[in-house]
Amino acid sequence: MTDRMFRLLELHQKLDAAIRRTRASRFADPMEIARLTRRKLRLRERLARLLPQQPALSL
């Protein structure tokens, strides 16, 4: 695992924790949850680009 991938995975975990904390708060801000979720999805796309593509199985 490269250093860059490790940092991105770590950030992904932090964003996931932030989303859980925001949802658990008494007055959860839906805009903040949406912003964090979009950021997490963009990060997931970046991680997917770093992973080597595996060939599809032929049936």
- Tell me what percent of the residues of the chain surpass a pLDDT of 70: 97
Looking at the domain assignment, is residue 56 inside a domain?
A: no
* Structural domain boundaries, residue 29: 3-50
Looking at the domain assignment, is residue 18 inside a domain?
A: yes
Looking at the domain assignment, is residue 26 inside a domain?
A: yes
State the total domains in the chain: 1
* Residue entry with tokens 């250093």: 3
Say if residue 54's pLDDT is above 80. no
Looking at the domain assignment, is residue 55 inside a domain?
A: no
Looking at the domain assignment, is residue 20 inside a domain?
A: yes
39, burial (CB in 10 Å: exposed 0-12, middle 13-18, buried 19+): middle
Looking at the domain assignment, is residue 25 inside a domain?
A: yes
Say if residue 34's pLDDT is above 80. yes
Mean residue pLDDT across the chain: 92
* Residue entry with tokens 């904390």: 21
